[in-house]
Amino acid sequence: MVLFVDLDETLTQGWERVEEAWDDDEAHRKFVALCASFGRLDAAGKRYSKVRDSDPKRREVAEAQIERVLKQAMATLELTKTEPNPAPKRRLMWVALAVASLLVGFALYLWLDAQT
């Protein structure tokens, strides 16, 4: 049996739980983790930014949660970071060397042929 989850509805329900327990750090942590698990940290950031910009009483908590979202995003980027593969550059160097050698060889052949 396959379950399809309406992502927007799931995030909205998570946000509603945060709104109900605004002073509970655990509710915020769970919401950010939920957004991270779906790859939607941007949704968490937008919601907290909206609160920060519109509600001075909740601004401090919203700013702390924005910081949490940013840290989570940076950690995710660090985990998914890959080093560039140096092999294509080496391969290109060998191909260029082979082409240059062929051209020099062909030019030498033409020069020697012209000498006779």
What pLDDT is attached to residue 91? Answer: 80
What pLDDT is attached to residue 74? Answer: 94
Give pLDDT tens digits for 30-86. Answer: 999 999 999 999 999 999 999 999 999 999 999 999 999 999 999 988 888 887 776
46-54 contact pairs (CB < 8 A, 24+):
47/15
Residue whose entry in the numeric block shows the structure tokens 């750090």: 25
- 62 and 44 Cβ atoms separated by less than 8 Å: no
| pLDDT class of 2 with cuts at 50, 70, 90 | very low
- pTM of the full predicted structure? 0.66
